[in-house]
Structure 1
Amino acid sequence: MPHLIVEYSQNLAGFPEAQALAELNQAVTSSPEVLDEADLKSRFVLVDSFEIGTAPANRAFVHAQLRLLSGRSPEAKKDLSERVAGVLRRLSPKPAGVMVQLSVEIVDMDRGSYVKERL
């Protein structure tokens, strides 16, 4: 915990994944909600097959999901989502003529059923 998964559509060529991962990890781990920076697991997922809406238009997306153990306040969740959105807003490619949708979602993980170990 936490897990950060960033999905983006394949028509966003040149996404600076390595830079984004470093900056996202710094932004999230600087939150007082994350007690140990080594707990954050981040990754990018390139989505090859996607559809946005129904109109034949040039569209793309970036969606981040930050999964946290339950119990955070709404204010803490909002702060974390803004930290993630700020990095992605700045680093996401913005190809000419393409509408890029950015979204960030905070998901509570059930504390009672979550298992984590360091092997």
Structure 2
Amino acid sequence: MDVVAEPFRAESAESCVAQRDGPVLRVTGDIDQGNWIDLADRVAAEVRTGLVHLDLTQVSFFGAAGIRALMYARDDLPPGRTLHVSCAPMVLHAMRICGLLTLTGLVVTPGADGQQWPAAWA
């Protein structure tokens, strides 16, 4: 299955954009009830073609729908494959609350460029 490398824009909510950049899929905007299925399908398709890093550092809204999208993609990982996820603070918080920080198949890091875990989480 060929994956189109053009930016993805969810039809129901243009506030979410996903752009492939080499081994990284960069997502910006809001992941919400109106677009999570389209985004989850895109991430799952990218994972099947070798995606290894999901960059959520520019996501501005990430609730239950975002968690569902991430779980959908994780469930589509080939055996033995790991998905690295870089998170905006709010995404990291939602993932922590849902217990996803230590989930098999995901390696979660806080942001990019050397950002550290919040001190209270150490």
Answer whether TM exceeds 0.5 for this pair: no
Higher relative contact order (CA 8 A, sep 6+): 1
TM-score w.r.t. the length of structure 2 is 0.29
TM-score w.r.t. the length of structure 1 is 0.30
